Chains A and B, each alone.
Chain A
Amino acid sequence: MSAAAEHSIPSSVKIAPPPAELEREPLVLQNRSIGWISDHIAGICEGEAPKWWLPALIMSVSLMTMMFGCIAYLIATGVGVWGLNQPVEWAWDITNFVFWIGIGHAGTLISAILFLLRQKWRTSVNRAAEAMTLFAVACAGIFPVIHVGRIWYAVWWLPPIPNNYDIWVNFRSPLLWDVFAVSTYGTVSLLFWYTGLIPDLATMRDRATGKVKKFLYGFFALGWTGSNRHWSNYEKCYLLLAGLSTPLVLSVHSIVSFDFAVSQVPGWHTTIFPPYFVAGAVFSGFGMVLTLLIPLRTLCKLEDIVTVRHVELMCKVILATGSIVGYAYGMEFFIAWYGGNPYELAAFKNRAFGPYWWSYWWMISCNVICPHLFWFKKLRTNMVFVFIVTIFVNIGMWFERFVIIVTSLHRDYLPSSWGYFRPTWVDVCTFLGSFGLFFTLFLLFMRYLPMIAISEVKGVTPQADPHHPQGGAKHGGHH
């Protein structure tokens, strides 16, 4: 006797598909089966590496080596190898730190906030974006550590350990808040990413052919069997991690902005900084997610999973956050005038028309003008165009941090100490090298771990819904 005959609903009642105009565009195109999803995504890590992968890895590793060479030179010689000096004591180092930590924010936004908002499209991009977050935080962490000069003393400045006079770290300093914020962010992002990976590692373990692969995937899958009793706790844990990551991601860039806002420097001492930094971080992060995913969806043939609609939705996030950033730039200027503080106004006039005018207008054109091209659907759905715009978004957001940091510092209250910062080759090579580290980690990730959350993508297909005809439902009603 079939299950259908037992229920009280007459078998003549059939589930009619919803009318065509109400049907949403599916998240996985071409009605791909559940099996196809694991075969296709796991297939990226199996078999031969694509032809472009090894050359790309060699290039990235060379860049990364250049960065570590520069860091070794810096530590052996001293921070004098960089271009910073009185009055610009923070320059590319902290610019790069804020730039990279900001990039990470898109990953957490996609994985946590969009999860809480039940945005199912996140499943196709969250794994890669979370990996991007981790690697960006790794790049970010390098700069504040090396900028202190004698880094072998850093262990007494960062964690709460008493120094040789038994004095503890100063918890009244925003710089110490930053240490806690960034290290918590890195740790929780790693936990969240790994939790999401466990079911997919089990898939990789069950598919693996080689002994070493089977052992390694099996070891990290922690004995996952897909048991529904486990899924029940797992889903609760994942929901709670999303709920914890949401206030975390908002706090991290707020605390990064306190590094500036809590000081007395004109141009830094503003209350708009926390929300403005968070919006800017999400803006730059989505830029980087698209910079990575647009080429990858073609190279790895993922067009059915990372669809044009996904790209379009992310463009809309860029448009929204870009508008917030543009508003913040305007509001900063307005308050500098309306606040009646002559030093504040001088700092802002100097920002737009002083010696660093070029960096300010780079920032304005990339961050304020560029995103508004995404009002047009034609442009949002043109992959090459979107890719180019996201590059400009990345450039613009780097300049934003440069503008905030360097232009506010280079002219302080005492005109005799005014200066002009110029980077040295060590500054430039360290920054370019950090991209090497980022891409090396990302290339290794996409080759050895499932780049797209296999179990989550399966879960948003109609075949996965037990109440959908494609999921095997034979008659109407919820049981």
Chain B
Amino acid sequence: MNAYGLLAVFETPADAMHAAEKVRDAGYSKWDVHTPFPVHGMDAAMGLRNSPVGWFTFIGGVTGYTTGMTMIWWMNAYDYKIVIGGKPMFSPFFSFPVSYELTILLASFGSLIGMFLLNRLPRLHHPLLKNRKFCQGASHDKFIVVIETADPKFNAEETRKLLVSAGSKHIELVED
């Protein structure tokens, strides 16, 4: 049997957070905590850095604004000029509302695409989603720590001991 990792169930967010601190301090790298809602303080307990999604948002926003301004100038002041009500062919003022909306539109798409890229989603298959205990808990009311066998520090005996010492009542090996 090919194992994906070791799964440990915790009953409360505090227990899972203390376990995460232990796993972090033990130096594991390929592991995760699965929770039904974002637990406040878990990022620090896992030693995660600030998420870089904002860069995608920024790039999306800049693209939106420049696209809007360039498009309006090109269409109304360059490609086919028409005088309307004696207004200027191009002005940053009348171009602003449309460019503003495009800034927001593309920045939103940027944020969402950034989040999906960083999370490697969508993903329609995952070994954990075949595990009954995991499916009954992680999206319901349990807090589940998973340490992957692919982790260089993974050792069936030691890792299990660590999770037991963290106070988990249920530990099992997940098949790949």
B66 at the A interface (CB under 8 A) = no
Q: Is A164 an interface residue (CB 8 A)?
A: no
Known contacts A181-B97, A251-B104, then 20 further A-B pairs from the complex at CB < 8 Å, ordered by chain A residue: A33-B141, A34-B141, A38-B139, A160-B75, A171-B98, A188-B104, A188-B105, A205-B139, A207-B140, A225-B138, A226-B139, A227-B119, A228-B35, A234-B115, A235-B38, A237-B115, A251-B100, A255-B101, A472-B15, A479-B18
Residue B169 CB within 8 A of the other chain: no
Q: Which of chain B's residues have a CB closer than 8 A to the CB of A89? A: none
Question: What chain B residues lie within 8 Å of A225 (beta carbons)?
Answer: 34, 126, 128-129, 134, 138
Name the residue on B nearest A176 (C-beta): B98
Residues 92-115 of chain B: 1 if any A CB is under 8 Å from the residue's CB, otherwise 0? 001101101110110111011011
* CA distance in complex: A173, B19 (Å): 60
Tell me, rounded to whole Å, the shortest Cβ–Cβ distance linking A127 to chain B.
14
Chain B interface size band reads 35 or more
22 examples of A-B residue contacts, CB within 8 angstroms: A3-B18, A3-B22, A3-B167, A38-B139, A38-B141, A177-B97, A181-B97, A191-B108, A202-B139, A224-B121, A224-B139, A225-B128, A226-B35, A227-B33, A228-B35, A228-B46, A229-B32, A236-B54, A247-B104, A466-B17, A466-B41, A472-B11
| Chain A nearest Cβ from B69, distance in angstroms | 10
Contact indicator B76/A172 (Cβ below 8 Å): yes
For B17, what are the chain A residues with a Cβ–Cβ distance below 8 Å?
466, 479
Interface residue ranges of B29-88 to A (CB < 8 Å):
32-43, 45-46, 48, 50-51, 53-54, 57, 71-72, 75-76, 79-80, 82, 84-85, 87
User: How far apart are B84's CB and chain A's nearest CB, in angstroms?
Assistant: 5
Residue of A nearest to B134 (CB): A225
Given the known interface contacts A38-B141, A225-B128, A479-B45, the answer about A230 and B121 at a Cβ–Cβ threshold of 8 Å is yes
9 closest residue pairs by CB, A with B: A472-B12, A472-B14, A223-B123, A222-B122, A237-B115, A35-B141, A168-B75, A236-B51, A3-B18
Chain B hits for A177, CB < 8 A: 97-98, 101
Q: Which residue of B lies closest to A170 (CB)?
A: B84
Partner of B13, one of A223, A227, A465, A479: A465
Q: Is A341 located at the chain interface by the 8 A CB criterion?
A: no
Say if the beta carbon of A373 comes within 8 Å of chain B: no
Distance from B107 Cβ to chain A, minimum over Cβ atoms (Å): 5
Q: Assess the A232–B84 pair: CB atoms within 8 A.
A: no
Give chain A residues whose Cβ lies under 8 Å from the Cβ of B15. Answer: 3, 472
Which A positions have Cβ atoms within 8 angstroms of B?
Answer: 1-3, 33-35, 38, 160, 162, 166-174, 176-177, 180-181, 184, 187-188, 191-192, 195, 199, 202-203, 205-207, 218-219, 222-237, 240-241, 244-245, 247-248, 251, 255, 258, 454-456, 458-459, 463-467, 471-474, 478-479
Q: Find out whether the CB atom of A180 lies under 8 angstroms from the CB atom of B102.
A: yes
* A233 in contact with B118 (CB, 8 Å): yes
CA distance A228 to B145 in the complex (A): 10
Q: How far is the CA of A233 from the CA of B140 in the complex (A)?
A: 21
Give B41 Cβ to nearest chain A Cβ, in Å. 6
**Distance of A31 from chain B, by nearest CB (Å):** 14
Tell me the smallest distance from the CB of B5 to a CB of chain A, in Å: 12
Q: B11, B34, B50, B109: which has the most chain A beta carbons within 10 Å? A: B34
B124 touches A218 (CB 8 A): yes
Q: Which of B13, B35, B105, B165 contacts A184 (CB 8 A)?
A: B105
In the complex, the answer to whether A237 meets B141 with C-beta atoms within 8 Å is no
B166 within 8 A of A: yes
Chain A neighbourhood of B26, CB < 8 A? none
Report the Cα distance A199→B37, complex, angstroms: 8
Question: Closest Cβ of chain B: how far from A351's Cβ, in Å?
Answer: 27
A115–B18 CA distance with the chains assembled, in angstroms? 28
Q: How far is the CA of A34 from the CA of B28 in the complex (A)?
A: 29
Residue from the set B13, B35, B114 with the largest chain A CB neighbour count within 10 Å: B13
Known: A226-B138, A237-B112. A244 touches B57 (CB 8 A): yes
Bound form: Cα–Cα A247–B79 in Å: 32
A229 in contact with B48 (CB, 8 Å): yes
A455 to B35, CA, bound (A): 10
Closest to B166 in A: A3
A205 to B125, CA, bound (A): 13
Q: In whole angstroms, what is the CA distance A167 to B40 when docked? A: 55
User: Closest CB-CB distance, B143 to chain A, in whole Å?
Assistant: 9
Alpha-carbon distance between A245 and B51 when the two chains are bound, in angstroms: 20
Pair A231/B35 contact, Cβ less than 8 Å? yes
Q: Which residues of A contact B35 (CB under 8 A)?
A: 226, 228, 231
Chain A residues near B85 (CB-CB < 8 A): 172
| Assembled-state Cα–Cα distance A459/B13 (Å) | 11
CB distance from B43 to the nearest CB of A (A): 5
Tell me, yes or no, whether B150 is within 8 Å of chain A by CB: no
Alpha-carbon gap, A467 to B76, bound state (A): 59
Question: Is B72 in contact with A206, judged by CB distance below 8 angstroms?
Answer: no
CB distance from A377 to the nearest CB of B (A): 32
**B141 touching A226, Cβ below 8 Å:** no
Q: Given A251-B101, A455-B36, answer yes or no on A171-B139 (Cβ-Cβ < 8 Å).
A: no
Which residue of A180, A195, A459 contacts B97 across the interface (Cβ within 8 Å)? A180
Kindly provide the distance from the CB of B173 to the nearest chain A CB, expressed in whole angstroms: 17
- How far, in whole Å, are A2 and B12 apart by their CA atoms in the complex? 14
Within the complex, what minimum Cβ distance (angstroms) separates A113 from chain B?
Answer: 15
**A244 cross-chain contacts in B, Cβ below 8 A:** 57, 104, 107-108, 111
Question: B55 to chain A: closest CB distance in Å?
Answer: 11
Q: Which residues of B contact A34 (CB under 8 A)?
A: 36, 140-141
In the assembly, what is the distance between CA of A236 and CA of B134, in Å? 25
What residues of chain A lie closer than 8 Å to B3, measured between beta carbons?
Answer: none
Residues of A within 8 A of B53 (CB): 233, 236-237, 240
